[in-house]
Every structure is written in structure tokens, then in C-alpha cells.
Amino acid sequence: MPDFSLDLSEDQLQLQKWVHDFAEDVVRPAAHEWDEREEMPWPIVEEAAKVGLYSLDFFTQCAADPGGLMLAIAAEELAWGDAGIALAILGSTLAVSGILASGTPDQIGEWLPQCFGTPDKIQTGAFAVSEPDAGSDVSSLRTKATYDEKSDEWVLNGTKTWITNGGIADVHVIVAAVDPELKGRGHAAFVVGPGTPGISQGQKFKKHGIRASHTAEVILDDCRIPGANLLGGKDKLDLRLARARGGQKTRTQAAMSTFEATRPLVGAQAIGIARAAYEFALDYAKERKTFGRPIIENQGIAFKLSDMRMEIDAARLLVWRACWMAATKKPFEAGEGSMSKLKAGEVAVHVTEEAIQILGGYGYTRDYPVERWHRDSKIYTIFEGTSEIQRLVIARAISGMHID
């Protein structure tokens, strides 16, 4: 058996440095501006596309990493630069994950390139699940997909909310109810391609944090798409629905398949935010003097920084374990994906708050970036499943029981 090692491979180290340099040279200097503007940072996305960071090739290269860590490494470094801009660059991978989770090889080949476009023609993707009355409870989706047999089309109606790239994306992956009586087992995922009539942007949200990431409602009003845009195909859906109606066990529902794949990557972003705040607070504590000596020489400060570093490292190990398990096809028997996202999100909130405390009044002003990192961190305990939902997933996994 090979020796156990946590050393990154040469390819992983090179990728880490490449993405970190982009985050340091391009993302971080632009972070304050785009946080204030609260707009999609198209110039930064274009720069990422020019260097190959925003591309299908980059995504597939990372996804092919046998250890499963490359995407997590990239996500951490980008979020170290700025979480909002990181989400603007990484947001399309949500749609990619949705297509990979349910699509046929032909669908994957057709739609994945359109989620990124080219450096000369940037395209984006969006994954739309949440609704005004169905956030954590995805089994209660009201968006309906009705099949029109005469025209071989699906007709989508409903409203999605809190959607990254919602309404501005070229490719929307929509999770909708085909048979509402079956709850989550009656859901399916559909691709709405560029220029499709009947899909539009609703309210754009003004957010507490991650302001450079576009978040909005998606309105579906008799939106007609070809039958071929049902991910996985109708034969597979009909078989799954028949099994569900007969009381047989079915595969994981469409939304959950994507969340299982992306939760550790969300955790990696949270770690990037926490690391940025920790490093800034550490440097500040070494330089800031009170009563004639650096404040890090006080145990009250030194112990805070010790705990911050320990928690960041622990969270990263959980994320890396989940990514490795996913890449090596090991089942999440104890909710390991949820563990990683839960721990990382809560660590990010705690570490950024402690960073503000270490900086004192300066940390509370926009002259220093720690207040932005604190604002950015909070969403990581909310989106892609709140901390409470993650604990529920873990509890069900370890007990084998249905816990409400």
C-alpha cells in the first residue's frame, strides 16, 4: 500500500499558485470596487477567460484530478481574493454540475460548452432550484413542467429565487415538478437555452455580502423548450416516475444530486474567506502596538489567532476528505459532504468576526477588508442548505432514521 500523505501533487501545487496569483493580482485589487457597485464584474470574468481560468477546459482538467482536490483548491484561492468575484467566476459550474448529474452524454456535450462560451463571447450558466416558498424544503417546489405531446415540448411555469446568474445566464438548468404528488421524487431537471421565449429576470437582490455575484429571481411564463432538453430523457423519467408511483425506491432527486457534488466546493470558498481574514489579522497583530509592544504578545490576541488557524485547517481537511471521497466514488455514509460545508461555513463566520475584534474599530470600517469578508462569510451558513439542514442530513445519515 502507498504511504499516507497529505502532500499536494506537482500539478495541484502549480494550479494553486496559478489561481492564487490571479486572485492576488486581478481579483483582490478589484474587490472593493465591485462590492460597492453590486454588479456582475464582467471585466474580471473576461480576464479569467483570457487566461483560461473561466473555461470548460479548466473545469474538466480540475474534475479529472484523481485526488478530487483541484476544484476545491481553485475555489479556496479565488475566494481568498474575493468571494463575490469568485462566485461570478465559479457560478456557471453550478449549471455544469446539474447537467453532469442528470444529463445524457449528448446533452453534456451540447450544453457544457455553452455554460462558458469563449474568451471572445463569454457565456454563463445558472442552476435554479429555490423558490419563494421552497428554499431548504426543495420537495415543495411549485414550478411545474408539463409535457405537450403534440409538439414534443415541455412547458415551464413558476418563479425561482436566489439564483446565481439568474436571468442573465445563457443556460438555465431548471428543477421543476413533473408530478407534484410525488414531492421530490416527482422532480426533473430541464435546460433552457439562450434566447428562449418565456424566461426572464425578476427582482435582482441587493445583498449583505457577495455583492459582486449576480443574484436574482427567474420568471418562467409558459416557457416552451424542446423535449430533448429534459436532462436524462423522457424514457428514463417515465421509468423513475412509475417506480415512485409503485412505492419503489428511486434515485436521488435532481436538486440533491447537484448539491451533493457542490457542497464541498462551497466549503472551500468559505475557507478562502476565513484564511484571508486570518492572515490579515495575524499581520495586523504583529504590527499594531499598544502599551509599547505588538498586540500579538498578549495571550488574548495570540490565543484567538491560534484558534482561528486551527479551525481553518480542520475545516479544510473535512473539505478535502469529501472531495477525495467523491472523486474515488466512496459513498457519503455519514453526510461527509454536508459536514464539510457546515464546518467551513461556520468557521468562516467565526474567524471573520474574530478578525474584526482583533482590529477593533478599524475592523468595523470599510477602510479595511475584514468587514467585507465578514459580510461575505454569512451566506455560507445559508445557501446550498442552511447549517440546520446540513445537521439534519448528517443526523439522518448516521442514524438511518427519518428525522424532522
Residues identified as active-site: 384
C-alpha cell read off for 248: 419503489
**Nearest CA among 272, 291, 283 for reference residue 359:** 283
Angle at CA of residue 381, ends 34 and 319, nearest 5°: 95
**Residues, the chain:** 404
Q: How far is CA 41 from CA 36, 70, 147, 207, 368, in A?
A: 11, 24, 38, 15, 21
Q: Are 142 and 133 in contact (CB under 8 A)?
A: yes
Q: How far is CA 55 from CA 1, 7, 82, 119, in A?
A: 36, 27, 19, 8
Please, which residues bridge with residue 157 across strands? 144
**Nearest CA among 116, 99, 98, 199 for reference residue 154:** 199
Q: Largest Cα–Cα distance of the chain, in whole Å?
A: 82
Please, which residues bridge with residue 218 across strands? 160, 201
DSSP 369: T
Angle in degrees, 0-180, between the axes of helices 254-287 and 92-102, rounded to the nearest 10: 150
**Nearest CA among 384, 301, 377 for reference residue 346:** 377
